[in-house]
Structure 1
Amino acid sequence: MKFEDEVAGRIGANGKNAKLQSDARALMDSSIRAGYSYNFSWLGRPIIQYPQDIVAMQEIIWRVQPDLIIETGIAHGGSLVFSAAMLELNAACGGPNDAKVLGIDIDIRAHNRAAIEAHPMFKRISMIEGSSVATEVVEEVRRHAAGKCSVLVCLDSNHTHAHVLAELRAYAPLVTIGSYCVVFDTIVEDLPSDLFPDRPWGPGDNPKTAVAEFMASTSDFEIDRQRDDQLLISVAPTGYLKRTR
């Protein structure tokens, strides 16, 4: 049996392993309470992601070979730097030489902007300050995406149902066939409401509920269930949306 077949078999078994699934849910609950995702950085910038999702994005970026990655939500810029570093590696291995990352955030704080602009990977990064769902911002992003061969989208800004649904409607159409729209923090739906006492989102109003409404209205995407079974520990269950048509 090929190694790839063994991996596929293990991943498939994960989805049927009730104890493993239960243990993973318990770990997500306790680790989110502990602020676990804030413990990591990428090339010196805080990335605020789980290592499993970072590895998943690496696999996707290598497979898709995007010449544009669109990211909503910048924070400290670690994810932008990560994506730019992956594009740099792709280029070194024969991928697109001019691939770029475009980040959008309603508030790019001055110290974060300065650190991102001073980073060696900034040569592949552009940023837009403004609401990701504002008409003028969406139009600017569309101009960046025009003529690109392969586009990957990551949504990780305001996590309310309405905002994420608006982002999906604006940016999912830019995703090229075979690539992904990754919706982060769908895990909110699966966690106790007391984890979000000072947030406008929570169970019933979050990225996962937005994904459900979006998927009910389109046949262009499918949820990558194999990715969920592979990761187990992830802030984006049912959030890896692959464009198939």
Structure 2
Amino acid sequence: MNNYDPKDRANIDAMASDAELTTLKRKVFDKACQHRYSYNFQWLGRPIIQFPEDIVAIQEIIWDTKPELIVETGIAHGGSLVLSASLLQLIGNEGKVLGIDIDIRPHNREAIESHPLAHRIEMIEGSSIDPSVVEQVKQFAQGKAPVMVILDSNHTHEHVLSELRYYAPLVPKGSWLLVFDTVVEHMDEDAFPDRPWGVGNNPMTAVEEFLAESDRFELDSEINNKLLLSVAPGGWLRCIKD
């Protein structure tokens, strides 16, 4: 611990290894999800559908790395796009946010495009793993550095693994690739009865396969260990090689 960064890494690691706390936070997380907890929050007027601790962690990463481009798969109401755009605005660089979604509903598009931070945001409608969409993203990313990627769309193993393989090459050493809803692997078998993902078929299983085949990324243990209520345990990936 020091005067410039008051957090205590040893204490963070001790907290993460506390078995009693791990059990308690799992119970709190599961109960909170029953009440659709992540739907309670907005960022600058747009529903963000994220847990507050994950929002804070994203803020820390963007502030530290100051990306020129943030690629986000999954748009929904646009709150995450606005979060990223607002931080880039504060940083003061020329950074942009590029959102991709297979279905951008007209009322959400209108709200995003009329937002005060719309000049920081671009959107592509289409599947994030459609080769033509991937090519558009690659073209948009040319000349922008660093690039950061946030994956939060279809949560099946094959979809997320494809996203990882397509978009990881855009992320340079020192930047980040965030994979959300890895927590699905730790939830009840019947938590998603109307979705094609679940235990054994989700972003966490995709991350595990991806990390086994790529040595460019590693799990950032500090962020992973310090968050109590997060939808992305094991999903905070830092690029460590060119």
Fold similarity call, TM over 0.5: yes
Distance 2:104 2:70 in 1: 18
Equivalent position SS for 2:140: helix
- Cross-structure match for 2:86: 85
Displacement of 1:9: 2.5
Equivalent residue runs for 1:44-55 within 5 Å: 44-55=45-56
Equivalent position SS for 1:104: strand
Which one-letter code corresponds to 1:56 in the other structure?
A
RMSD: 1.0
Equivalent position SS for 2:233: coil
Normalized against structure 1, the TM-score is what?
A: 0.96
Distance 1:115 1:5 in 2: 39
Distance 1:184 1:6, change over 3 A: closer
- Cross-structure match for 1:42: 43
Specify which of 126, 139, 153 is matched with residue 149 of structure 2: 153
- Cross-structure match for 1:16: 17
Displacement of 1:6: 4.7
Displacement of 1:5: 6.2
Identity %: 57
- Cross-structure match for 1:194: 190
Deviations 1:107-152 (A, max 9, x none): 0000000000000010100000000000100000001111212110
- Cross-structure match for 1:32: 33
Equivalent position SS for 2:218: strand
Equivalent position SS for 1:22: helix
Distance 2:228 2:176 in 1: 19
Q: Is this contact kept in 2: 1:69–1:154, CA < 8 A? A: yes
Distance 1:5 1:85, change over 3 A: closer
Distance 1:111 1:5, change over 3 A: closer
Report the more deviating stretch, 40-49 or 16-25: 16-25
Specify which of 163, 179, 196 is matched with residue 167 of structure 1: 163
Equivalent position SS for 1:196: coil
1:203 has 2:204 as partner: no
Equivalent position SS for 2:71: strand
Equivalent residue runs for 1:66-81 within 5 Å: 66-81=67-82
Distance 1:151 1:230 in 2: 24
Displacement of 1:25: 1.1
Report the more deviating stretch, 30-39 or 14-23: 14-23
Displacement of 1:7: 2.3
Q: Which runs of no fewer than 5 residues in structure 2 stay unpaired?
A: none
Equivalent position SS for 2:8: helix
Which one-letter code corresponds to 2:183 in the other structure?
I
Which one-letter code corresponds to 1:2 in the other structure?
N
Displacement of 1:232: 2.0
Displacement of 1:15: 1.8
Which one-letter code corresponds to 1:48 in the other structure?
I
